[in-house]
Amino acid sequence: MYVFPILGLIIIVSIGISRYIQTPFGKKQYDLMKLNVPVFGLLNKKVAISRFCRTLGTLLSSGVPIMQALEIVGKASGNEVISMTVAKIRESIREGESIATPLGSSGMFPPMVTQMVAVGEETGNLDAMLSKISDFYDTEVEYLLASLTSMLEPIMIVGMGAIVGFIVISVFLPLYQLIGQMGH
């Protein structure tokens, strides 16, 4: 009876959300939410940092100029928050600053990343340092996925138990009611 209005409301809300996400402001808010969601936000953030560092390190080691490499990384990130951070990095480099300063001020990158980038800039070995950061975060992602998987196993077992219990009850409850009615 109430299924169709609820289903219609869900469809309308999902269409509205998808259209909102397609706007520039909505995309930024959605990407920010993906990075700050409990549990999975940390995973998304580590994957994004690893991807950023790996791509930038690979481009720099291939001889691509830093400004062009940052432009490519910003477009390839697929995340509006990272893209805006990359745009700030490009502006600071144009003004003669380092890469580490806007990385640190963005709030997106942990202090360890900004410090390692600063060391890489000072030593002239930024591409190797970015590769090391990316390797570290790839390992962190693997550990986080393993721990999330181990946390999901008990939840899945309880869920399966609830489903099996529901099926057993839904099968035997009518039988007990029939038996009870036959006894009268």
For residues 25 and 70, state if they share a domain.
Answer: no
CA distance 37 to 47: 14
The answer to whether residue 3 is domain-embedded is: yes
For residues 59 and 141, state if they share a domain.
Answer: yes
Q: What is the pLDDT of residues 154-170, one digit of tens each?
A: 999 999 999 999 999 99
For residues 23 and 9, state if they share a domain.
Answer: yes
Q: How confident is the model at residue 138 (pLDDT cuts 50, 70, 90)?
A: very high
Output the pLDDT for position 79: 82
Residue 38 main-chain phi, psi, to 5 deg: -60, 145
- Give CA separation, 125 vs 68, 109, 115, 128, 137, in Å: 18, 19, 13, 6, 19
- Following DSSP, what letter does each residue of 40-72 receive, concatenated? HHHHHHHHHHHHHHHHHHHHHHTT--HHHHHHH
What range does the domain containing 112 cover?
Answer: 38-153
Output the pLDDT for position 18: 87
Considering only residues 78 and 72, tell me which one the structure prediction assigns the higher pLDDT. Answer: 72
For residues 87 and 11, state if they share a domain.
Answer: no
Question: Structure pTM?
Answer: 0.75
Q: What is the pLDDT of residues 139-158, one digit of tens each?
A: 999 999 998 888 888 999 99
CA distance 183 to 2: 37
For residues 105 and 139, state if they share a domain.
Answer: yes
For residues 86 and 23, state if they share a domain.
Answer: no
Asked whether 66 and 83 are in contact (CB, 8 A), the reply is no
> What value does the mean pLDDT of the chain take?
88
Q: What is the pLDDT of residues 6-53, one digit of tens each?
A: 888 889 988 988 888 888 888 888 888 888 888 788 888 899 899 999
What per-residue string of b and e applies to 120-131 under the rule 16 or more CB within 10 Å gives b?
Answer: beeeeebbebbb
